[in-house]
Amino acid sequence: VSQHSLRIQKVLEDANLKLGSVLSDVLGKSGRAMLDAIVAGQSDPAHLAALAQGTARNKSAELREALRGRITEHHRTMLRLHLQVIDALQRTLAELDAAVGKALAPIRQRARLLATMPGVSDLTASVVVAEIGVDMSRFPSAGHLISWAGLCPRSDESAGKRRSTRVRKSGTWIKTTLVTAAWAAVRVKSSYLRAQFLRIKARRGAKKAILAVAASMLTAAYHML
pLDDT in tens, 102-160: 766 788 888 899 999 999 988 888 889 888 888 999 999 999 999 999 888 655 444 45
Q: Does residue 98 contact residue 172 with C-beta atoms inside 8 Å?
A: no
In order, the DSSP letters of 141-202 are: SHHHHHHHTT-SB---EETTEE---PBPP--SSHHHHHHHHHHHHTTSTT-HHHHHHHHHHH
Helices 206-224 and 174-185, interaxial angle, to 10°? Answer: 100
Residue with the larger pLDDT of the pair 63 and 158: 63
Answer yes or no: is pLDDT of 162 > 80. Answer: no
The domain limits of the chain are 2-103, 115-224
Answer yes or no: is pLDDT of 8 > 50. Answer: yes
pLDDT in tens, 65-77: 999 999 999 999 9
Residue 152: per-residue pLDDT: 80
Percent of the chain with pLDDT over 70: 89
* DSSP three-state, residue 104: helix
Answer yes or no: is pLDDT of 168 > 70. Answer: no
